[in-house]
Amino acid sequence: MTTALPADRTRFPLRRRLAARTAVGAAHLLTRLAPHRLERVLTRVARGAVPSTAAQATEARELVLAASLRMNGQRSCLPRSVAVALTCRLGGHWPTWCVGTLMSPPFSPHAWVEADGGLIGEKGDHAHWARLISVAAPGAVTGSRAASSSR
């Protein structure tokens, strides 16, 4: 369901770009894990973080997209969402990281991040997605129609 994203020309400070590239590398490694293990790792990483605001999560997403051309690809929603979440965590906050599927045919899988109860950088709204796995910071506001799993 993810479509190719336009190149972002925003310039970020070197320190932030390096942090985003580190998160991208870690995301590529983490996405090789089984889903339940990935959820467990991200749950531990999210401990102690405050919920991200929409502005913080959007900036982290822009950083990740600027740091790696691969993250702009059509089938890179899982590593992109993990990289965005890790970039947020490096800033001391955590978005709600989600994996799910469209609620109507074709049932295509997708991964995304949410903050302040809204999708970050995604078209549409929560009504189109069924959440299968999510990792949120304590006290985070989540989407209204999404059913989260917690372990």
Q: What is the pLDDT of residues 21-46, one digit of tens each?
A: 999 999 999 999 999 999 999 999 99
**Torsion angle of the four alpha carbons 23, 82, 78, 53, in this order, in degrees rounded to the nearest 10:** -120
- Residues 54-96 have pLDDT tens digits of 999 999 999 999 999 999 988 899 999 999 999 999 999 999 9
- What pLDDT is attached to residue 3? 54
What percent of the chain stands above pLDDT 90? Answer: 70
- What pLDDT is attached to residue 151? 39
Question: What residue ranges do the domains of the chain occupy?
Answer: 14-135
Reduce the DSSP state of residue 129 to 3 states and report it. strand
Tell me the HSE value of 69 on the side-chain side, using a 13 A CA sphere.
Answer: 0
Residues recorded for the chain: 151
